[in-house]
Amino acid sequence: MSFRKNLLAARHHFIFLLGLAAAFGLVIYLEMLEVSRENFKIEEKIKITYPSSRELNEVEQEMARIAWRYFENNTDEDTGLVNSVDGFPAATLWDIASYMLGLISAYKLDIVDADTFDSRIEKLLKSLYELDLYDGVLPNKSYNVKTKRMVDYTNKISDNGIGWSAIDIGRIMVPFNILVWNYPQHTKGVNRILSRWDMTYLVSRGVLVGATIDKKGKTKYVQEGRIGYEEYAAKSVSLAGIDVSVALQYSDFLKYVPIMGVDVPTDIRDPKKYKAHNYVVSESYILDAIEFGSDEISTQFSYRVYKAQENRYKKTGILTAVSEDNIDQAPYFVYNTVFSSGKAWNAITDSGEDASQFRSVSTKAALGWHMLYESDYTALLMKHIENNFDSEKGWFSGIYEKSNVPNKAITANTNAIVLESLHYKVFGPLLNISGKNNANKLDLLSVGKKMKS
């Protein structure tokens, strides 16, 4: 074989090595990350100590098995794709990533064996490779699980698609990276998928870019992500050797809002101008910790978002663990937030309509915070949600705050995060790029401008 042919044959290995180099570059970046102290200084930094890893007790082992039953019930036998909601045969890339991370966690926790793990991953990667792409460049926002056709969010077939989500693509890059780094038998499958995606459309000048369709039916490219989710998604994209340096910056649009005695990080971008709400929720910070191990800044931000919720309970007696969730009645999806649209403890729909009657204790938030901190307060949250499941179907999404009745929506995302959180308690982060041992180095956090609530 000629040198030229050898070079072409080895191209995927070169790509992988470039990814490795980018990963080490990101590690260095996270270690050296400095944030401006010019505008606002936190006088009292919060010292954070993480509990040690440990084996799961019998109750927690059963929690993991219940979560896995969701995926046993909702996996399509032919495509290997998984329903986003129990019995609803559609999935976004976020949901597909959740399944992959739940599967990896279930394998590590000895819930599924190696043959099951490999066969499920192989079937799924094959289907992902075969998906039609929006404009022929990146995955559509949603697909039918049975047919693999592009659909809208109601699961109605959309021949041309409805655009792509940069945040969702960033999420699926997390399990892709885990597979390449830890399960090399699936590297080829991942590379085949990425060889079809044109990732140059995903980023512009260091920021994440999504695609949507305007009222005239034309594709519109928009900056995507707000503080928390933006940095979370950018971390995994950076491991592919893509410049997301601007998206990785926490300080660009940061303001602290004092909530329940805690300065909580919020995003100052105006929803009216930027056409996207700036939700402060639990999930993005929990995922950052249990998947990446957090960096020094997200460690501090995460604890502040958590602590505001604990303090709300101490002041009002209302158990609080808020995040975005599917719900079992219209409008079917609600953002329960620590702060959004200028208001603390706001609960809204994706269009900004009031949904405060659906404020809930989120199952994934309660368990995620407990696996991270194991405090007296998170123990109360666990007691509150300990029976919030159908033993044959999986974990319910939450418990409504006002009525104290279960929110019986059962989803891939909630059950995956249950598995991921339990995996974290035993093994640590799924893809540790910064090292949890750095979590106590909190000297750099003096960022943003303080805003009165």
Give pLDDT, residue 44.
60
Q: What are the tens digits of pLDDT across the range 332-365?
A: 999 999 999 899 999 999 889 999 999 999 999 9
**Whether residue 110 has pLDDT greater than 90:** yes
| pLDDT at position 417 | 98
On the question of pLDDT at 11 being above 50, the answer is no
Residue whose structure tokens are 């926490």: 250
**C-alpha distances in angstroms, 267 versus 30, 163, 350?**
20, 24, 16
Q: How far apart are CA 38 and CA 297, in angstroms?
A: 17
Report DSSP state, residue 336. E
Structural domains in the chain, sorted by start: 3-450 (1.50.10.140)
> CB-based contacts of 77: which residues, under 8 Å, 6+ apart?
none
- Residues ≥6 apart with Cβ < 8 Å to 208: 166, 167, 170, 202, 223, 224, 225, 230, 233, 234, 237, 244, 247
Confidence of residue 294 (pLDDT cuts 50, 70, 90): confident
Tell me the CA distances in angstroms from 244 to 113, 167, 209, 233, 265, one per residue in order. 37, 12, 10, 10, 21
Mean pLDDT of the chain: 88
Question: pLDDT confidence of 42, banded at 50, 70, 90?
Answer: very low
Integer Cα distance of 127 and 139 in angstroms: 12
pTM comes to 0.87
Q: Which residue has the tokens 């045969």?
A: 89
Phi/psi for 125 (5° steps) reads -65, -35
pLDDT in tens, 258-291: 999 999 999 998 777 766 778 999 999 999 999 9
Sheet holding 219-223, edge to edge: 203-204, 207-213, 219-223
pLDDT, tens digit (0-9, with 9 covering 90-100), for 202-259: 999 999 999 999 989 999 999 999 899 999 999 999 998 899 999 999 988 999 999 9
Six token digits for residue 73: 């019930």
CA 413 – CA 284 distance, rounded (Å): 12
Higher model confidence: residue 453 or residue 91? 91
Q: Which of 28-32, 93-97, 413-417 has the lowest mean pLDDT?
A: 28-32
> What is the reported pLDDT for 17?
45
For the stretch 48-98, pLDDT in tens is 888 999 999 999 999 999 999 999 999 999 999 999 999 999 999 999 999
DSSP 429-445: -SS-SS-GGGGG--TT-
What is the crossing angle of helices 363-373 and 296-316, to 10°? Answer: 110
Over 80: is that where the pLDDT of 438 sits?
A: no
Helix axes 93-108, 412-427, angle to 10 degrees: 40
Are residues 305 and 260 in contact, defined by beta-carbon separation less than 8 angstroms?
no
Residue 194 in tokens: 């990425």
Cβ(435)–Cβ(296) below 8 Å:
no
Q: How many CB atoms lie within 10 A of CB 123?
A: 17
DSSP strands (E only) in 164-233: 203-204, 207-213, 219-223
Chain segment 298-329, per-residue pLDDT in tens: 999 999 999 999 999 999 999 999 999 999 99
Q: What is the DSSP string of 261-294?
A: TEEEEEE---HHHHSS---B-SHHHHHIIIII--
pLDDT given at position 277:
79
Q: How many helices (H) and strands (E) does the chain have?
A: 14, 19
What percentage of the chain reaches a pLDDT higher than 90? 79
- 39 vs 87: which has the higher pLDDT: 87
∠ Cα 315 340 348 (to 5°): 95
